[in-house]
């Protein structure tokens, strides 16, 4: 039987590397392996160093290993064509046009990507050679960061329930009639059964020995358990070698990791593998194969990749340009911190918000990441409505909560319909359509719009979700605005609420595109994968008319602490990538050092701010 193995965890902990190394090891042992990524900002191709894309592709140099990167856009087009094909044969053109308009909405993208994911949980659809009957022995899923993975794994149950309720009611879902997607119900139920089958499905959480990663893993494992999905193993990645404790900096970080390793053992009593941090990046088949022995035995000999390039010439930081990007200039400023998971967006968002508030500006800090770690970093509880942060006058914080927002969003829509005198039958149909997984995305987006539209703050700082999901959020105002245009053009029922919504979207689109009002700051640490991912996302932002305002190079190793061959190799690697960042992005670059411990609480945020402000006098 085909087995399924999921790799999940907080962004930046090495899920893709662990998944790819496991795939190579299994394929080298003679098993037929498929690795699939569900992350919209996929790094599979970067790690394997070859093109992959939205087709099942053989991995060069590894017989028996194939890979695929699910592309949300391609998946949406395929889903729409497949859904409408039987409808076009049966219904008149005017009915088909209405369904095309429904399926052109932003909701369809989510269900389409999920639908494609569900295909890979059906062994009958995973046959290499139909004539010979050869199927994959193992399908490995390299998932998006935890919050979005939990959302994805909730969908089989949610969509099956939504279709069942629609079939017993008016037959309408938010992406069209239930009759048109009835076949999907059986697929989603099969997917859920496969996810719950411990004989066939394994679920591995990858984490770093850090506070936020432990908290996120505990929360995600509990949410999966409520769905009947069992976590089978942990991989603790990025462990510093004990012999590197020869400087106070590394000694402090190693001590911190040791404390968290004990916490992991206490809080997450599961089979656990420990993988050391190597002296270079894991990219390419050779380095993946070199990592495989360490997956089996943490005491195996560590490969030394090294980095022998001479330190490249570096440019000086433009303090004035950095300050301009972060300060309001006669009108409110919105700052978006974006980037790959695990690059430190949350910490930098919190530090920026604290810095702004302490300079006397009314500042709102918002997280759109489902994992929502700003409360843990600030050391306060953060809710969906902005509330003051104790210890920092003029700072407020809030989080976008999709589930809570969906309830309020639904009730607001129904209240508006009742006020307009809609019939009981119409109200029932609307409730049926809104009782859908898509409503959560619409509601979260609506809450984002509401918080971004407030003009009572001098500065609003957004801590965004990892790159792929942030791009989805930022494209939604444009997608929804276009969807309203389609409704008007098609002469479908248009109410005044659409005019109000379009005006709100236009305001947000204008704000995001105006450098005088907003700054998009991409955060990356100096390694190839986050730089490549940021480059792709920045190009996509540019296509939307949204300019890049600032790059933050985070977690930079201090020169004075890197004296052993291991530490020096990592420092030289970083310096080469920092020079690449300066060449690649034509905007100010703010360099932020790695501290000797994690940044949790206001005191540690102050330490980070002191380290940033010492060489960069932004307080002037």
With a cut of 90, say whether residue 266 has pLDDT above it: yes
pLDDT band at 539 (very low <50, low <70, confident <90, very high): confident
Report the chain's mean pLDDT, rounded to a whole number: 80
pLDDT band at 243 (very low <50, low <70, confident <90, very high): very high
pLDDT tens column, 388-420: 999 999 999 988 877 777 777 778 778 877 887
Please tell me the predicted confidence (pLDDT) of residue 483. 43
Please tell me the predicted confidence (pLDDT) of residue 488. 36
Q: With H, G, I as helix, E, B as strand and everything else as coil, classify residue 599.
A: coil
> What distances in angstroms separate CA 85 from CA 80, 89, 378, one per listed residue?
8, 7, 52
**In 33-136, at which residue ranges do the beta strands (DSSP E only) sit?**
33-37, 57-58, 65-69, 127-129, 134-135
Please tell me the predicted confidence (pLDDT) of residue 130. 45
Q: Report the alpha-carbon distance of residue 1 to residue 450 in Å, rounded.
A: 49
Please tell me the predicted confidence (pLDDT) of residue 468. 47
With a cut of 90, say whether residue 249 has pLDDT above it: yes
Q: Is 319-613 the same fold as 3-296? A: yes
pLDDT band at 596 (very low <50, low <70, confident <90, very high): very high
Q: Which of 36-45, 553-562, 586-595 has the lowest mean pLDDT?
A: 36-45
Please tell me the predicted confidence (pLDDT) of residue 159. 55
Question: Is-contact 218 267, C-beta < 8 A?
Answer: yes
Q: Give the mean model confidence (pLDDT) for residues 566-577.
A: 93
Q: With H, G, I as helix, E, B as strand and everything else as coil, classify residue 478.
A: helix
**Burial of 273 (C-beta count, 10 Å sphere; 0-12/13-18/19+):** middle
Question: Is-contact 610 602, C-beta < 8 A?
Answer: no
Please tell me the predicted confidence (pLDDT) of residue 191. 78
Pseudo-torsion of CA 202, 439, 543, 484, nearest 10°?
A: 160
Q: Which of 260-274, 283-297, 311-325, 540-554 has the lowest mean pLDDT?
A: 311-325
Q: What percent of the chain has pLDDT over 90?
A: 37
Question: Is-contact 117 153, C-beta < 8 A?
Answer: no
Q: Report the alpha-carbon distance of residue 208 to residue 214 in Å, rounded.
A: 8
Tokens representing residue 19 in the block: 């998944």
pLDDT tens column, 325-341: 888 888 899 998 988 77
pLDDT band at 284 (very low <50, low <70, confident <90, very high): very high
pLDDT band at 219 (very low <50, low <70, confident <90, very high): confident
Q: 513 or 25: which carries more pLDDT confidence? A: 25
pLDDT tens column, 149-163: 565 566 555 655 665
Question: Is-contact 615 404, C-beta < 8 A?
Answer: no
Please tell me the predicted confidence (pLDDT) of residue 388. 93
Nearest Cα to Cα of residue 277 among 296, 256, 249, 305: 305
> What distances in angstroms separate CA 180 from CA 2, 87, 93, 228, 271, one per listed residue?
29, 7, 16, 29, 44
Q: Which of 302-306, 383-387, 474-478 has the lowest mean pLDDT?
A: 474-478
Q: What percent of the chain has pLDDT over 70?
A: 75
List Cβ neighbours of 543 (8 Å cut-off, separation of 6 or more). none
Q: Which of 23-32, 300-309, 532-541, 588-597 has the lowest mean pLDDT?
A: 300-309
Domain segments of the chain as ranges? 3-296, 319-613
With a cut of 50, say whether residue 485 has pLDDT above it: no
pLDDT band at 256 (very low <50, low <70, confident <90, very high): very high
Please tell me the predicted confidence (pLDDT) of residue 552. 94
Tokens 């940033």 locate to 612
Question: How open is the CA angle 379-385-391, to the nearest 5 degrees?
Answer: 35
Please tell me the predicted confidence (pLDDT) of residue 489. 36
Highest CATH level, class, for 319-613: alpha beta
Q: 21 or 529: which carries more pLDDT confidence? A: 21
pLDDT band at 553 (very low <50, low <70, confident <90, very high): very high
What residues pair up with 252 in beta bridges, in sequence order?
none
- Give Cα 65 to chain centroid, integer Å: 26
How many of the other CB atoms lie within 10 Å of CB of 144?
27
Nearest Cα to Cα of residue 220 among 152, 133, 290: 152
What pTM was computed for the model? 0.79
Nearest Cα to Cα of residue 398 among 454, 332, 341, 467: 454
DSSP string, 409-428: HHHHHHHHHHHTT--HHHHH
Please tell me the predicted confidence (pLDDT) of residue 183. 62
Tokens representing residue 464 in the block: 């965004």
With a cut of 90, say whether residue 11 has pLDDT above it: no
Please tell me the predicted confidence (pLDDT) of residue 490. 37
> What distances in angstroms separate CA 353 from CA 292, 361, 372, 598, one per listed residue?
42, 9, 15, 18
Q: b/e for 16-43, b at 16 or more Cβ within 10 A?
A: bbbbbbbbbbbbeeeebbbbbbbbbbbb
pLDDT tens column, 415-434: 877 887 878 877 776 676 66
With a cut of 60, say whether residue 115 has pLDDT above it: yes
Question: How open is the CA angle 220-226-230, to the nearest 5 degrees?
Answer: 70
3-class secondary structure for 127-145?
Answer: EEECCCCEECCEEEEECCC
Q: Report the alpha-carbon distance of residue 51 to residue 466 in Å, rounded.
A: 22
Question: Is-contact 2 134, C-beta < 8 A?
Answer: no
Please tell me the predicted confidence (pLDDT) of residue 181. 54
Tokens representing residue 337 in the block: 């911190």
Q: Which CATH number applies to 3-296: 3.90.105.10, 3.40.50.300, 3.40.109.10, 3.30.499.10? A: 3.40.50.300
With a cut of 50, say whether residue 300 has pLDDT above it: yes
Classify residue 124 by its DSSP letter. Answer: G
Q: Give the mean model confidence (pLDDT) for residues 566-572.
A: 93
State whether the Cα torsion 570-575-579-582 is positive or negative.
positive
Q: Give the mean model confidence (pLDDT) for residues 60-85.
A: 84
- Give Cα 445 to chain centroid, integer Å: 15
How many of the other CB atoms lie within 10 Å of CB of 521?
26
Q: Give the mean model confidence (pLDDT) for residues 347-373.
A: 87
Pseudo-torsion of CA 317, 320, 322, 327, nearest 10°?
A: 160
With a cut of 60, say whether residue 616 has pLDDT above it: no
State whether the Cα torsion 177-182-188-189 is positive or negative.
positive
Q: 613 or 231: which carries more pLDDT confidence? A: 231
């Amino acid at each position: 039987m085909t087995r399924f193995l999921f790799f999940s965890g907080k962004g930046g902990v090495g899920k893709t590397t662990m998944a790819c190394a496991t795939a190579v090891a299994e394929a080298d042992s003679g098993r037929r392996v498929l690795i699939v990524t569900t992350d919209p900002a996929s790094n599979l191709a970067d790690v394997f160093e070859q093109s992959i894309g939205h087709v099942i592709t053989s991995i060069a140099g590894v017989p028996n290993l194939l890979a695929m990167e699910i592309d949300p856009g391609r998946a949406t087009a395929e889903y729409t064509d497949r859904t409408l094909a039987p409808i076009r044969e049966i219904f008149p053109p005017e009915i088909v046009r209405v369904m095309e308009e429904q399926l052109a909405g932003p909701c369809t993208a989510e269900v389409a990507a999920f639908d494609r994911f569900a295909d890979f949980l059906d062994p009958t659809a995973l046959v290499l050679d139909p004539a010979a009957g050869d199927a994959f022995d193992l399908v490995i899923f390299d998932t998006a960061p935890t919050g979005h993975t939990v959302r994805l794994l909730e969908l089989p149950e949610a969509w099956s329930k939504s279709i069942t309720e629609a079939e017993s009611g008016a037959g309408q879902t938010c992406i069209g009639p239930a009759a048109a997607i009835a076949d999907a119900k059986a697929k989603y139920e099969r997917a859920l059964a496969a996810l719950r089958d411990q004989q066939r499905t394994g679920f591995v959480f990858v984490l770093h020995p850090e506070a936020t990663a432990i908290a996120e893993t505990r929360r995600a494992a509990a949410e999966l358990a409520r769905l009947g999905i069992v976590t089978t193993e942990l991989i603790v990645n990025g462990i510093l070698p004990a012999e590197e404790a020869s400087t106070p900096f590394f000694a402090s970080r190693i001590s911190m990791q040791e404390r968290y390793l004990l916490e992991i053992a206490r809080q997450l009593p599961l089979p656990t593998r420990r993988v050391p941090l190597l002296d270079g990046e894991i990219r390419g088949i050779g380095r993946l194969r070199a990592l495989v022995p360490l997956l089996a035995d943490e005491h195996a000999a560590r490969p030394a990749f090294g980095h022998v390039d001479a330190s490249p010439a570096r440019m000086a930081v433009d303090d004035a340009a950095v300050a301009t990007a972060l300060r309001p200039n006669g009108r409110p400023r919105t700052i978006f911190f974006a980037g790959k998971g695990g690059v430190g967006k949350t910490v930098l968002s919190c530090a920026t918000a604290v810095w702004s508030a302490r300079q006397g500006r009314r500042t709102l800090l918002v997280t759109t990441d489902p994992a929502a770690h700003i409360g843990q970093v600030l050391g306060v509880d953060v809710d969906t409505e902005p509330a003051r942060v104790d210890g920092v006058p003029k700072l407020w914080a809030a989080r976008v909560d999709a589930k809570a927002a969906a309830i309020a969003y639904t009730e607001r829509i129904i209240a508006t319909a009742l006020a307009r005198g809609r019939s009981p039958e119409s109200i029932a149909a609307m409730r049926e359509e809104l009782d859908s997984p898509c409503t959560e995305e619409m509601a979260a987006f609506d809450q984002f719009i509401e918080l971004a539209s407030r003009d009572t703050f001098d500065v609003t700082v957004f801590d965004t979700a990892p790159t792929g999901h942030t791009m989805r959020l930022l494209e939604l105002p444009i997608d929804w605005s276009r969807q309203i245009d389609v409704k008007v053009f098609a002469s479908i029922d248009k109410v005044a609420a659409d005019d109000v919504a379009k005006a709100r979207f236009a305001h947000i689109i204008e704000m995001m595109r105006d450098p005088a009002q907003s700054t998009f700051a991409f955060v990356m640490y100096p390694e190839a994968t986050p730089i490549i991912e940021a480059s792709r996302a920045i190009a996509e932002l540019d296509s939307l008319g949204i300019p890049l305002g600032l790059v933050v190079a985070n977690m930079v190793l201090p020169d004075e602490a890197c004296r052993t061959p291991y530490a020096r190799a990592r420092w030289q690697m970083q310096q080469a990538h920092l020079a690449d960042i300066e060449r690649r992005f034509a905007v100010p670059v703010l360099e932020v050092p790695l501290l000797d411990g994690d940044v949790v609480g206001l005191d540690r945020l102050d330490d980070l701010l002191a380290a940033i402000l010492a060489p960069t006098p932004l307080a002037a």
